[in-house]
């Protein structure tokens, strides 16, 4: 083979490698949430977090996971938070934080609400059921600020609160199933394909 041909091949291969290298983006590191000696488990830094086990708790007055940082994603990875069925504790409390996403898991048995997010919060693919069992009750999934989204989730079995509870109509919900709660949805904007009980939500 001619030298020019070999040089061309090497040059093309080198250029392809350079393009791939420039196009590659670093993968965000994920931090595994580990069960603390005492709850709440505190998330104080922005970042991506994953659960690696079920959290079965007896704490009745504190959240299981308390988020105080902004720009946080918690992927429950199919695991669950299981509360004691009494008290006022919240499953995941991100009330004061912005841009927090909770996804891919289940929360049950909390005396207070299952999940509370703040402004621009997202709850995706979560089942929140059997929460609000304490004397004060609570909501399955709640947003304490504007610009929230609840999507592809199930909220049921709440005798003392709403399935979904929003701060205002800048919040939206889509593709959810809400049933067997004291109330279905408070405020928020129905973006479509939500089931309230046995019918589509109005």
Model confidence over 7-27: pLDDT tens digits? 444 444 454 544 444 455 555
2 within a domain of the structure (yes/no): no
185 within a domain of the structure (yes/no): yes
CB 108 within 8 A of CB 83: yes
Q: What CATH code is carried by the domain that includes residue 92?
A: 2.160.20.10
Q: pTM for the whole thing? A: 0.86
Distance (Å) of CA 145 to CA 74, 96, 100, 118, 171: 19, 9, 12, 5, 8
Model confidence over 30-43: pLDDT tens digits? 999 999 999 999 99
170 within a domain of the structure (yes/no): yes
19 within a domain of the structure (yes/no): no
CB 72 within 8 A of CB 43: yes
CB 61 within 8 A of CB 34: no
**What backbone torsions phi and psi does residue 187 show, to the nearest 5 degrees?**
60, -155
11 within a domain of the structure (yes/no): no
Most distant pair of Cα atoms in the chain: their distance: 85
Which residue did the predictor score with more confidence, 77 or 28? 77
Distance CA 92, CA 87 (A): 15
155 within a domain of the structure (yes/no): yes
78 within a domain of the structure (yes/no): yes
Model confidence over 193-202: pLDDT tens digits? 999 999 999 8
Q: Which domain holds residue 99?
A: 29-200
**What backbone torsions phi and psi does residue 139 show, to the nearest 5 degrees?**
-100, 155
Mean of pLDDT over the chain:
89
Q: How many domains does the structure of the chain reveal? A: 1
Distance CA 148, CA 127 (A): 17
119 within a domain of the structure (yes/no): yes
Residue among 47, 53, 112, 104 nearest 73 (CA): 47
């Amino acid at each position: 083979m001619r030298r020019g041909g070999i040089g061309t091949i090497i040059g093309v291969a080198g250029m392809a490698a350079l393009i791939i290298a420039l196009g590659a983006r670093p993968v965000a590191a994920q931090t595994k949430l580990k069960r603390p000696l005492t709850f709440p488990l505190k998330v104080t830094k922005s970042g991506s977090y994953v659960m690696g086990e079920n959290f079965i708790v007896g704490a009745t007055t504190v959240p299981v996971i308390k988020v105080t940082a902004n720009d946080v994603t918690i992927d429950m990875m199919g695991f669950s938070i299981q509360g004691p069925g009494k008290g006022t504790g919240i499953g995941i409390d991100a009330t004061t934080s912005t841009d927090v996403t909770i996804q891919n898991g289940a929360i049950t048995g909390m005396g207070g609400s299952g999940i509370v997010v703040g402004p621009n919060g997202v709850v995706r693919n979560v089942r929140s059921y059997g929460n609000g069992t304490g004397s004060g009750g609570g909501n399955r999934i709640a947003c304490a600020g504007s610009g929230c989204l609840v999507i592809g989730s199930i909220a049921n079995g709440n005798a003392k609160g709403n399935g979904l509870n929003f701060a205002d109509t800048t919040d939206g919900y889509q593709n959810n199933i809400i049933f067997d709660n004291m109330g279905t949805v408070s405020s928020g904007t129905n973006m479509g394909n939500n089931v309230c009980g046995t019918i589509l939500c109005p």
